Every structure is written in C-alpha cells, then in structure tokens.
Amino acid sequence: MEYLLEALHVTKVFGTLKANDDVTLKVKPGEIHAFLGENGAGKSTLVKMIYGALQPTSGEFRWMGKSVTIPSPAAARKLGIGMVFQHFSLFDALTVAENIALAMPGAFDMKKLSERITRVSRDYGLPLEPTAVVADLSVGERQRIEIVRCLLQEPKLLIMDEPTAVLTPQEADQLFVTLARLAGEGCAVIYISHRLEEVKRLCHNVTILRHGKVVANVDPATETAASLARLMVGGDIHVVKSAREDQRGATRLKLDHLKLPADGPFSVELRNVSLDVKAGEVVAIAGVAGNGQSELFDAVSGERSLRDAAMLVIDGKPMGHDGVNTRRNAGAAFVPEERLGHGAVPGFTLSQNVVLTRHSSDEALVKSGMVSSGGAAGVSQRVIKDFDVRKGKPDPEARSLSGGNLQKFVVGRELDRKPGVLVVNQPTWGVDAGAAATVRQAIVDLARQGSAVLVISQDLDEIFEIADRIAVISRGQLSEAYPASELSSEKIGLLMAGAHELKETAHAARA
C-alpha cells in the first residue's frame, strides 16, 4: 500500500458549474498534504467528497488501494477519516467530555471517556480538562476539543479546514507540533489554508487547485511563498505598494478612554480604549477573535451609542452620541466584518445595497424621501467597474456573489465616497488572494490620499502588509500603537496573550 488515499479523475458538477474537474491526487500515510487555492477553487467540495458529505459526479476514490464510495461522514469515520471544520460544532453549555460523548458512536462510559480524553490530549500536547464547560474556553481550546474528538477515533487521515485562522501565533505553533507528531505516527493530514508561509513550514506536499482543476503538485520546500501564490492565482500576484514615507497629518479619528459595557453574556466590555489615527496612515488593531473587536467596531461606527460624546472624535468633532448616519455625513465610512446580513442585505440587489449605507450621505440616491433607483444603479455600476466585481447578472442579489467579490463591492461602496475616516473590520476575512490584494491596495491608497484608516484584523500577514502602526486588543483592552517596523510576530503574540493588560493594571495600582 503506497498511497492511503487516491482521488482518480474526480469530477463534481453543480448545475452548470464544475466545482471539481478531473481532479487526481494522492496522499501517502504520514504525509501533511496541503490543499491551496483561492475561494471557489474547489477545495471545500473536494474535502467534502472525501469526508462523505458530497458524492462525486464521476471518478473514484481509493482508500488503501481499494476502490471505495463514501456515502456519508459516518462511513468516512468508519474508514478512519476525521475532519476538523473551520466553524466548530460545540454546545457552549456542555462540558468538554459531554461534547465529545455526543459525537461518539454507540454507548460510552463517561468516566472512561474522560480518562481517554485526558490521556490523548496530553499525549498530543493539546491539554484539555474534560469537566470544563465549553463556554469558558478560548477559541484555541475549542479547536482542541474538535481535534481530540477526531483523535479518539484513531484516524488514519485527518482533514483540517483553515485551522490557524482563529489561533494566536503561539497556539498555531503548538498545533503544528501536534500535527507533525501525528504525521510521524503515520497519520496523514490534509491541510487547507490560505497562509502560504504556514504551508511552507508545515507541509510535505502541496496540491494547488484553481477553478476546480489541479494546476500543480509541488514540494513546498523548493517553492517560495511568492511562487506558491502565483500558482494559486495564476499570474503574478499584486504586491501592495505603500509609499512608507512619513507623511502623517492631523488626527482625524480619536478614541479617548472609550468605555462600553458588555451587552450580553458573550459580549466583551471595552475598557479605556484610546487611539489616535492620523491623516495619511493605516493603523491596524490585531487580536484574537472575540476580544472586543466587534464591540469596538459597533462603538466606532455608532451602532451602539457611547456614554460620553468626547470618547469618539472625528475631525475634531465629538461624536460619541451620534448615530451611524451622522458619523457618515461627517465623512466617516465603515465596513463591518460580516458581509451578508450586516454589510449587505443578502436578498437585495447590489444597487439596493448601495442605498443601505449611502442613503443619508449621498443626495443623488434619495430625493424627497424617494429612492432613486437610477442613482443607485449608477453608483453600483461604478463600484463594480472600479473594483472588478465579478458577477453573473447585471444587478444580482448580494448573496449570489462569491465572498471575495461581495467584499470588493462592500469595501468599494464606501471607498467610492472618498471618506476622510475609514474603519474596516476584517477586510479580507475568507476572501481569495486576488480580491484580498485589491482590497488592501485600495485601503492603502485611500490613506495615502490623506484619509485616516483603522483596520481591525486577525490576519497578521495582512496587518504587516498594510499597517503603519499596530495596536493589539485583548479582553477589551487596547495596547499602545507601535510602529509596524518595531513589532515582530512574537511581540504581537505576547500582546495578544494580554501582556499589556498586566502593565496597565500595574499602572492603575501605582496611580
């Protein structure tokens, strides 16, 4: 048995779309095999077929040399295939052991199971307390539950879908040790990621997909991140050009001891967040998801009102009490993290979605209370052209666009206004490399034209690519903003883990 899993001429057709087209690839036991590709390249479809969630239209899979059909995830698990999804399926109110028990086939003994969890998690360097309640755990710990859940079934193949997207650098390092160890024991790993450096560092073999086809199978050790990106995008990837000369002007966006109480059991309280963003610069806020980023965005955009108007100042005007439209009219623009349902209405067309954020700032769109569909269509066409938004119909519903194209539209809709202050939360979350480059370039260009840009992101590569200064948010507290050139990944990692919180507490104690 040379290969553990082989896919031979696998094709999957959805309607008229070939999601996978004649895909052939081979995975050896003990190999960490990366699937690289832009969004919509067909990675997810391929893994879903391997995990039995979808059936191929034609072609076959071989498992340990024998032809198999995998009718369901249960059958896949029976063969020895485990999968850790990007979005966890855990019950917050249950304990670690209970969550794992729910996924185990047949009867189980809670006590024995807890012992196994402790043993396996310790053996693989993924410490877990079986009696801990999931709601109290960090995202990294939750991911461990998912991994341990797979490991308990002693898989021969483990599929990981963008596992590091939610982890701190330190947590990611720990995960890599675990995966390397698993591979050493003969377990194969299929690793899906957008992060080229990671793939280079961790994987033995890379299969690159584009438009549903395998375009290359390469050894990552002999490739550079740039050459991998080129294969993935199919052309030289656009490098963000930022003239890094120091041309900062006056402060355009100022957060001054901004405080916001938590508004629910899973919400984070913002504590004394202070930050100045000056004309001409991009300031990024790094941090692990769920440390107050969305609360900060809501506070800055005005979706949640602040107690004290002076906590938020736009171009010298205290606007803490004002709503989102007043802030827009003052020259600010906002792009939230969630495209569908927050930044855009899924069932509305693109031109209707133009009206969503511009109805009060754009006089051409609303005349005496009536929506001008012509005006909206004009703006929408301009954004589509300027940002190369690809779509099927002239004016499609937002939900029919791919993530990358919708993101280009949502960002483009705001940039088209030439805002003086731009606040973006996760500008390229779940977006393919081509679209990400377009969005990042547009953000940097805007700053160079004299606007102040605040970017909230979990993607450190992105932050280093575009930011002039970087601050880190952790449990609702924001660190000082450091010039990007003075910060290393390691230092950011420490800040993410809350190093500045201690310092500030010490400050408070001394004061």
Partner 1 sequence: MRLVLEKRAEASGRMAILSPIIAILLTLVTGGIIFALRGLNPFSALYVFFVEPLTTAWSIEQLIVKATPLAMIGAGLAVSYMANVWNIGAEGQLTAGAILGSAIPVFFPEFQSPFTLVVMLALGIIGGMAWASIPAFLKNRFGTNEILTSLMLVYVIQLVLDWLVRGPWRDPKGYNFPKTIAFSDWQMLPSFQLIPPSIGPIYVNLGAILAVIAVVALAFMMGRTLKGFELRVQGVAPRAGRFAGFSREKTVWFCFLLSGGLAGLAGICEVMSTVGQLQPGISPGYGFTAIIVAFLGRLNPIGALVAAFALAISYLGGESAQVALGISDKTARVFQGILLFYILACDSLILYRLKFIGRTPQLAEGRA
| CB nearer partner 1, residue 65 or residue 127 | 65
- Shortest separation between residue 87's beta carbon and partner 1, angstroms: 17
> 């420490």: which residue's tokens?
494
Query: Which neighbouring-strand residues pair with 194?
Result: none
Burial 77-114 (b: 16+ CB within 10 A, else e): bebbbbbbeeeeebeeeebbbbbbbeeeeeeeeeeebb
| CB nearer partner 1, residue 207 or residue 357 | 357
- Shortest separation between residue 40's beta carbon and partner 1, angstroms: 13
- Shortest separation between residue 344's beta carbon and partner 1, angstroms: 7
| Other C-beta atoms lying within 10 Å of the C-beta of residue 3 | 16
Contact 438, 462 (CB under 8 A): no
| Other C-beta atoms lying within 10 Å of the C-beta of residue 329 | 12
- Shortest separation between residue 342's beta carbon and partner 1, angstroms: 5
Q: Taking phi first (over 0 means left), then psi (-120 to 50 degrees means alpha), and beta for anything else, what does residue 42 get?
A: left
Contact 288, 496 (CB under 8 A): yes
Binding to partner 1 in span 287-316, by CB under 8 A: 301-303
206-207-210-216 Cα dihedral, nearest 10 degrees: 90
| CB nearer partner 1, residue 62 or residue 204 | 62
- Count interface residues toward partner 1 (CB under 8 A): 44
How far is residue 150 from each of residues 86, 163, 314, measured CA to CA in Å?
A: 14, 14, 50
Piece in contact with partner 1 (CB under 8 A), picked from 65-73, 179-187, 191-199, 496-504:
65-73
Contact pick of 324, 439, 472, 496 for partner 1 (by CB under 8 A): 324
Per-position x/- string for 333-372, each x denoting binding to partner 1 as judged by CB under 8 A, each - no binding: -x-x-x--xxxxxxxx---x--xxx-xx-----x--xxx-
| CB nearer partner 1, residue 403 or residue 498 | 403
In 304-432, which residue ranges form alpha helices assigned H by DSSP?
324-329, 350-358, 373-386, 403-415
Binding to partner 1 in span 408-467, by CB under 8 A: none
Contact 448, 456 (CB under 8 A): no
Binding of partner 1 at residue 71 (CB under 8 A)? yes
Which of 319-324's residues contact partners 24+ apart within 8 Å by CB, and which partners?
A: 320/258
- Shortest separation between residue 118's beta carbon and partner 1, angstroms: 33
Binding of partner 1 at residue 77 (CB under 8 A)? no
| CB nearer partner 1, residue 99 or residue 407 | 407
Nearest to 433 by CA among 233, 240, 235, 234: 233
Contact pick of 9, 24, 58, 67 for partner 1 (by CB under 8 A): 67
Contact pick of 24, 58, 65, 219 for partner 1 (by CB under 8 A): 65
- Shortest separation between residue 507's beta carbon and partner 1, angstroms: 35
Contact pick of 69, 89, 224, 449 for partner 1 (by CB under 8 A): 69
> CA-CA distance, 338 to 89, in Å (whole number)?
19
Residues of this chain that interact with partner 1 (CB under 8 A) are: 55, 62, 65-72, 75, 78, 301-303, 323-325, 328, 334, 336, 338, 341-348, 352, 355-357, 359-360, 366, 369-371, 396-397, 399-400
